[in-house]
Chain A
Amino acid sequence: MATQHSQSVARMMMAPAVILLLGWMLVPLTMTLFFSFKKYLPLRGGDLGWVGFDNYVRFVSSSSFWPAVATTLIIVGGVLVITVLLGIALALLLDQPMWGQGVVRILVIAPFFVMPTVSGLVWKNMFMDPVNGFFAHLWRFFGAEPIQWLSHASMPSLVMIVSWQWLPFATLILLTAIQSLDTEQLEAAEMDGARPLGRFWFIILPHLARAITVVILIQTIFLLSIFAEIFVTTAGAFGTKTLTYLIFQRVLESQNVGLGSAGGVYAIILANIVAVFLLRVVGKNLDA
C-alpha cells in the first residue's frame, strides 16, 4: 500500500515531532553529560575545570547512595504491591451490580486528579499531624496514643500517600480489563460448579495478567521520579531520600551541579533499564 511517494510524505509528517523530541532529549542530555565531567560549583564561581570520572565515583561512594537506591526500590515496590492488590479487589467489587455505580466510580477515581503537591500537603497536615491531624483525633477518640506518622513510620506513610494517588489508576485499568472478560466463559465455569475462588484464580486472574503488567510498568515510570510528595512531607529526612531526591539535594541544596549531573546520568541509566522491560511488553501489544 505504501508507495515511495506516500513514504516520503509520511516521513515529512513525522519530522516535526521527531525533531522536537530529539532536541528535547539531546540538548539536556548533552549538557548533563558535559556537566557531569566538570567540577561545577555555581556558588564558587561556576566552572572549575574537568575532573574526569570523579563525580561519578563520588556520587556512588557517598554514604547516601545505596540507602537512596534501597528507598527508591522500597517505595516503588511497596506502592506497586498495594495498588495492584487493592486495585484487583476494588475492580472486582466495582464490577458487581449495585446502586449508584457511576457515582462510586467517580469517587474512587478522584485522587488521581489531585496535584502531587496538594496531596502531600493535605496528608501531612490534615491527616498525619500527630497533634491536630485527623488520625491523631481518631486515635485519641479510641483512647490510643496518636502515631507519629512521618517520623516514626516515615516509609509506610509515604507509601500510603503515593498509593492513594495511584490506586485509582490501577483500579480503573483493571476494571476495564475485567469488563472485557467474556461472560460466557464465566457462566460456563459457574455451571461446571466452579467456586468463586476457583473462578477468580483460573479465569479472571489469567485474563488480568496483561493489564496487571501494564499497571506495574507504567506506574514504575512515574514512581521512579516521584519528588513533590517527598519534598513537602519529609524533605528527605527519616530515610525517605530516593535517588531522584538525592540528585535534587546535590544540585540544588549543595549547589554541586557536576555531582548532581553524574547522579542524573545514573538515574537515566536506571530508568532506561526499566524502560527496556516496559517497552518490550507494550511493544508486543503493537503487533497484537
Chain B
Amino acid sequence: MHFRKLVCTAAAATLMASGVAYAETLTIATVNNGDMIRMQGLTDDFTAKTGHKVEWVTLEENVLRQRVTTDITTKGGAFDIMTIGMYETPIWGKNGWLVPLDDLSADYNVGDILPAMAGGLSHDGTLYAAPFYGESSMIMYRTDLMAKAGLEMPAAPSWSFIAKAAREMTDRDNDINGICLRGKAGWGEGGAFITAMSNSFGARWFDENWNAQFDTREWSDTLNFYLNMMNDAGPAGFATNGFNENLSLFQQGKCGMWIDATVAASFVTNPKDSTVADKVGFALAPDNGMGVRSNWLWAWALAIPAGTQKEAAAKQFIEWATSNGYIELVASKEGWANVPPGARTSLYENANYKDIPFAKMTLESILSADPNNSTVDPSPYVGIQFAAIPEFAGIATEVSQEFSAAYAGQQSVEEALAKAQALTNDAMEAAGYR
C-alpha cells in the first residue's frame, strides 16, 4: 500500500517538475479582427519557442461575447484564454473569475504597458488582462476631398466644423458621402459611438443617483445633431453600419471623413486593401467647446479564466502575444504599419514606428481619453463609451436599438429618447440601483 502511494506521489512529482517542458494544448477564444487573424497565422512561432500547441476558436464579436460570458459565469472551463475588452475585465476580475496577471516575467516588462490601458484592464490595482492592442477613436479624412472643398482640417476640430465640412464634401453624384459614422444597434457598435459623442455634448448616462438622463436637453442635442448631419452627408443605410461596414466604405473611397477606432488607420492606409491609402489625414475626435472630446478608450486583451489547468502555459502565451517580441515579429513579416498598436509605450518611442503617419495621432487620442472623468457633469460610473457595471451591455444594446430605429426614420428622436429613458430606469430598478 505505502509503496504504491509512494510511486504515485513520485510520478506526480515528476510530472509537475517536468511541467515546464510538458507540451500543453491551449484553447483560445478570440474575435475575428484583422490583428487577431494575423496572430493566428503566427502561432507556429509560439509553438516553436515553448512546445505548446494552440487551438483557435475565432468568432464574430457578438457570438464571442455570448460564448465567453456563458462559459465564465458558469465556470465552464472550455477556454484557457479568452479575448475580452475593457468593459468585461474589471467586472470579471472583481468577481474573481480571472487569474491575476501579477507575476509576469521581468522580460515582459509590465511597466511598458500604456498606463491608460493597464488602468482599464485592472481591478483594485491588479492587472487581469494583457492588452493585445489598444485604441481610442479619431477622425480619418480624405486630404484630397478636404482640399477640393477648400477647407483645412484643424488638429483638434469642433463638431460644428465637422458638420460643415461633411456637408461640403458630400458629392452624391460621385457616390461620395461627407461623413461615415456608426449607426448600427449594439452597445459595442453604434452605442459606443453615440455615447462617446454625447460626452462632448455634456450628456451622461446616469446622474450621481443612477437616474437615467435621456430626458435631458444634452441627449436630444446629441441625437438631433448626429441625425441632421447624417441625413445630409451620411451614406445610405447608415443605421445599419458598424465598424466593418464603414471601413469597407472608406476603403472604397466613398467617405470624406470617418470617426472611428484608431486601429482602422492601418487598414485605410494599407494600399493592398484601400483605394485611398495615400490620401488619408488624421485629427483628434471633435469636441463641442465643453472641455470633453468625443474619443473613447478600448483594448482587446487576453485573460485567463480562473480554474484552468493550464495556467502556466496560458501565461506563456499571453507573454508571447502581447510582448515587444511579438510586435517585432509582425514588423519583420508585415511591416511596422501593421503591428498591433496602442498597447505599449515603447512602441511610440521606437524610431521605426515614428514615421508611421497615424502613430502620433493614435497616441495623442489614447492619452487624452480619461475613463474616470468622461463626462462634463459628474457621473457615478467609470468608462467613456460604456459604464462599467454588469447591467450596461444589456441596457445599452436595447437603448441603441431605439436610437437606430430613430436613425432609420421609424420613430422620432423624442420617441427614441423617451423609450430609452423608460427602459433604462426599469432595468436599473430591477438590478437594485434605484
Contacts and interface: CB of A to CB of B under 8 A. Distances in A.
Question: Is any CB of A less than 8 Å from a CB of B in the complex?
Answer: yes
Interface of A: 41-46, 58, 62-64, 129-132, 145-146, 148, 150-152, 154, 231, 234-239, 241, 249-250, 252-256, 259
Interface in B417-434: 419, 422-423, 426-427, 430-431
A63 B394 contact: no
A183 to B, nearest CB: 51
Given A44-B390, A255-B73, A146 B66 contact: no
Contact of A254 (B254, B407, B409, B427): B427
Contacts of B427: 254
Interface in B373-426: 390-391, 393-395, 397-398, 400-401, 404-405, 407-410, 419, 422-423, 426
B42 interface: no
B185 A235 contact: yes
Interface in B198-257: 235-237, 239-240, 248-249, 254
Contacts of B69: 42, 252, 255
Given A151-B237, A255-B390, A256-B430, A239 B405 contact: yes
Contacts of A63: 419, 422-423, 426
A238 B254 contact: no
B390 A43 contact: yes
A62 B400 CA distance: 17
Say what secondary structure dominates the interface of chain A.
loop
A63 B401 CA distance: 13
Question: Which range holds the interface residue count of chain B?
Answer: 35 or more
A151 B408 contact: yes
B70 interface: yes
Contacts of A253: 66, 393-394, 397
A148 B423 contact: no
A249 to B, nearest CB: 7
B95 A43 contact: yes
A62 B426 contact: yes
Given A43-B95, A151-B237, A151-B407, 5 more contacts: A63-B426, A150-B237, A235-B185, A254-B394, A255-B394
A45 B95 contact: yes
Contact of A256 (B394, B397, B400, B401): B394
B73 A238 contact: no
In the complex, the 6 A-B pairs of residues with the closest C-beta atoms, listed nearest first = A254-B394, A42-B73, A43-B390, A237-B185, A130-B237, A151-B408
A131 B62 contact: no
A234 B184 CA distance: 9
Contacts, number: 104
Contacts of B340: none
A234 B397 CA distance: 12
A241 B397 CA distance: 12
A237 B390 contact: no
B103 to A, nearest CB: 27
A16 B52 CA distance: 43
Nearest to B186: A235
Contacts of A43: 73, 91, 95, 390-391
B74 interface: yes
Interface string B250-277: 0000100000000000000000000000
A252 B95 contact: no
A238 B410 contact: yes
Contacts of B408: 148, 151-152, 154, 238
Contacts of A130: 236-237, 240
A252 B404 CA distance: 21
Nearest to B88: A43
Contact of A239 (B254, B390, B410): B410
Interface centre among A151, A231, A235 (most CB of B within 10 A): A151
Contacts of A249: 394, 397-398
